[in-house]
Structure 1
């Protein structure tokens, strides 16, 4: 069980909750902190102190004072009016991560919500009830307003959810698990939607999946080196220690260790003096991709435990302060940066695919075809890989540089962080398909040479992958092979 404190959540704990369905609870001490914050809000309301979003309107309406009898209606109206996302829904993984991250942020005790609201979120999470949240519609400042409004609806018994692999109304799912809908009190609607949890959740899922794919990319690149009689000298430790980047040093070490017992690798001068960059510079490029990932992981772990609400309630000094912690710029920049690492991981993989299939660049059968001319073999797989990396180049354009004013220019600079995160996850899917194609081609190449001479580690991986995609003995519909291999890698 993962115990939330609002300050200590890790990427591994998110993975356990999202992937392994581990249950979640909160500590008693944390609950007391939340309750104290709530009491501060209620005291301020009783004193009729003017506080943004508690007894005023929102955005441009911040100067409109709301009557005390309408404070609950104000919060409900906020959720209803802001739930206007469009497009395909986020995956259940992302929805699950959003619930976890929003609950964790509220637990810091600066949002002024009741503990019962947080417990309702955790109850949905533990029951496997996942709100249906449309992907599009967030500007990434004033928080992820539209996505988080959709996330909030099921707490009230409204909107749709996915429960036990079926899409249904939230009210139906709540009945099934004996949960009563929540009625929002002052401040609570705003507290639910003023945050960066959509972009952060997508970012976390992207990072967890990218980490796995980077390891796989190193192993698949090692197999490609075998298929092309790669020169192992380029991975000598002395070369990489002189550059000094630890990630580059680590990738080179991994490839050296993986291929230490391979009979396919060559020394410089045996077959050629140097390899092409897509082989020789694997540590430099993948090491740089690891650097983007490590940077983004650090920013995400900070954001996962951050207070991104507005206004913030400081119980110690009995004050409510309007600020801008909801602005997603740190995560927008981070996800735009991560996109570069994803793009280049795929770019260099596609170039290795070209070296595997191009008869002018190797001594293998043209396009790895069993009957060149009559059968095209892997020719069009390279086309697909090239198309995907080209699409990634378009998606890699930074979303964070494109701000559009909103709310009658009250909210005149926004981050577009959720777009950056969504594009990063989309790019990762593209990259996975490219790397799946490289694996299919690398396996074919080493089989032409004889798998008995492979390194133990690459041979084991080859044998496992061959259970997913059979050898190319004749032309067939390769789309199924690419899909199955990508799904296996995921």
Structure 2
């Protein structure tokens, strides 16, 4: 089934934690994401909709506009009474004690954007850049940062028009994403920074003209600092990492189910009683989904194991138990699910919080400025480090399982190297598996927690930095590596199944695993005599990254869950 058709099917069913399927209203993949921002109700699901590339229609709630107007008026009144405020009428960072007069503060807003837009390296994906603008606008919509509603509305105008600021990834220390957010601010005013629009990258002034937006927007007193303050870009990239990691968690369950079939594993390792006894909901849910995928299998039975033994000329003997990686896989994979659930709480709080410095709060006599450290990204940075460790461990697990398939002894009878033709003349998939082995140490090295590497900067004014951007970027890179490792496992498990299918004649695979096998075979044919393997691996990796295999897993779960009981 084509990906678009699968999306339509899956949109009407949602796999829930118990492994069951709950009905949901169908959502067209091209339906616009309509959001009304009030600073309190933006969800991770909203963010995922934006990241999926759907058209966006975002506006500010009327209540948020009113709250911002009140706090802005209160902030200006407090300044008129003589308040000296960081970033409003005082300079920034180590120069915080330098006052700014009325003439200087207007120029200061532009200078802040120019001086802080010093990022380098690859730009954030457009989907992440647009999400960062939505998160920033939602945080401003709370009314605690003292900005005019025209500022977040300008950011939403960019998003709604399909403009993405070019935001370099390197420069943020996770103590406020100053560099990338300053670049976005320059785009908002039509400054020298570049932006992208409908496949064109050009200076912001040209892009705004192409999109039909005016260039005469200016930041007013105190607005440049809220624009660059906060860890909003870390949050946007972390959400993208979470979204992709969630998809890989589904993909990993699918290829593990295929591994179970290829090795005719014992079903007892998925017995709900043993998993429920551990009292880890995510573990029980994974085991339940795996039971759904293999439902109807005759390969993973005493009869199936005996039939292959006999076909290989061996004396049938019972399988006492499989290896640790096989038996413990639901528990190992549950850690990723648990952390993704915890990360959802962390990032939703971030998206609906004021993350600037200073903040403006009402008092009995008006409004007052309060300076603090609400921009720090430590919580997200450490969460990203933990998620990275989960992904690296899943990569190790996948590589270990695919490695077992090369050995007739470890795979319980699969041909050596998974060679489809004459073994020796044909080397099979040994080098495909080596790709996964090569990526594992890169994942392990990339999983070192950047959050423990703080160093002071800016004349000691920023004497602790979370390095959250480094944590998220490393996790993002490991998502890419894991996608390839899982693609290797899909190629090898389907090959293993095909190489013994004739010896398993009369015995069906599970309904779900057969569907997953067929999904791979629609893109990658069975390997018989050796052929150029890079295109096969690229095709399988594309299936992981474009959602095709995740859709296949979810479709297999949803259709199999109502079609009978396990063998």
Contact 1:353 1:382 in 2 (8 A): yes
Q: Deviations over 1:323-378 (max 9, x none)?
A: 00111111111111111111111111111100112233121111111232222221
What is the distance in 1 between the residues matched to 2:531 and 2:82? 73
Inter-partner Cα distance in structure 2 for 1:136 and 1:149: 13
Report if aligned partners of 1:206, 1:428 keep a CA contact under 8 Å in 2: yes
What is the alpha-carbon distance in structure 2 between the residues aligned to residue 270 and residue 100 of structure 1? Answer: 61
- Aligned to 1:23, what secondary structure does the other structure show? strand
Describe how 1:318-397 pairs up with structure 2 within 5 A.
Answer: 318-362=367-411, 363-370=413-420, 371-397=422-448
**Contact 2:75-2:368 within 8 A present in 1 as well:** no
Q: Does 1:307 align with 2:354?
A: yes
Q: Which residue of 241, 247, 255 corresponds with 2:282?
A: 247
Structure 2 Cα separation of the partners of residues 300 and 388 of structure 1: 29
Which residue is equivalent to 2:44?
Answer: 11
CA distance in 2, matches of 1:372, 1:271: 28
CA distance in structure 1 between the partners assigned to 2:360 and 2:317 by the alignment = 70
Mapped to 1, the partners of 2:41 and 2:317 lie a distance apart of 54
The residue matched to 1:441 in structure 2 has which SS?
helix
Q: Match of 1:220?
A: 255
Who is 2:27 aligned against?
A: none
Contact 1:310 1:322 survives alignment (8 Å) = yes
- Which moves more between the two structures, 451-460 or 298-307? 451-460
Q: TM-score, normalised by structure 2?
A: 0.84
The residue correspondences of 1:88-237 to structure 2 (distance < 5 A) are: 88-141=122-175, 143-158=176-191, 159-181=193-215, 182-237=217-272
* Mapped partners of 1:477, 1:94: distance in 2: 35
Alpha-carbon offset, residue 270 of structure 1: 5.4
Q: CA deviation at 1:417?
A: 0.5
Aligned residues: 489
- Structure 1 residue 280 corresponds to structure 2 residue 280: no
Distance 1:271 1:227 in 2: 17
1:131-177 deviation digits (Å, cap 9, x = unpaired): 11111111111x11111111211101021111102212211111122
SS at the partner of 2:56? coil
Bigger mean CA deviation after superposition, 291-300 or 477-486: 477-486
Q: Is 1:446 matched with 2:528? A: no
* 8 Å contact from structure 1 (residues 278, 349) kept in 2: no
1:256 partnered with 2:311: no
Does structure 1 retain, via aligned residues, the 8 Å contact 2:50–2:127? no
What's the secondary structure of 2:195's corresponding residue? strand
- CA shift, 1:101, in A, is 0.8
| CA distance in structure 1 between the aligned counterparts of 2:59 and 2:529, rounded to whole angstroms | 55
Mapped to 2, the partners of 1:472 and 1:152 lie a distance apart of: 53
- Measure how far apart 1:42 and its partner are: 2.1
The secondary structure found in structure 2 opposite 1:161 is strand
What secondary structure is seen at the aligned counterpart in 2 of 1:63?
A: coil
1:370-401 deviations in Å (ceiling 9; x for gaps): 23222222111221101211111111111110
1:100 and 1:122 in contact (8 A); partners too: yes
| Structure 2 unaligned regions, length at least 5 | 1-33, 306-315, 546-567
How far 1:285 moved relative to its partner? 0.4
Task: Quote the residue 1:466 is aligned against.
Answer: 521
* Residue correspondence of structure 1 range 396-475 to structure 2 within 5 A: 396-450=447-501, 453-475=508-530
Per the alignment, in what secondary structure is the counterpart of residue 135 of structure 1?
strand
Check whether the contact 2:298–2:510 (CA below 8 A) recurs between aligned residues: yes
Q: How does 1:38-77 map to 2 (within 5 A)?
A: 38-77=72-111
Give the CA deviation at 1:284.
0.9
Is the 8 Å Cα contact of residues 356 and 375 (structure 2) preserved in structure 1? Answer: yes
- Unaligned ranges ≥5, structure 1: none
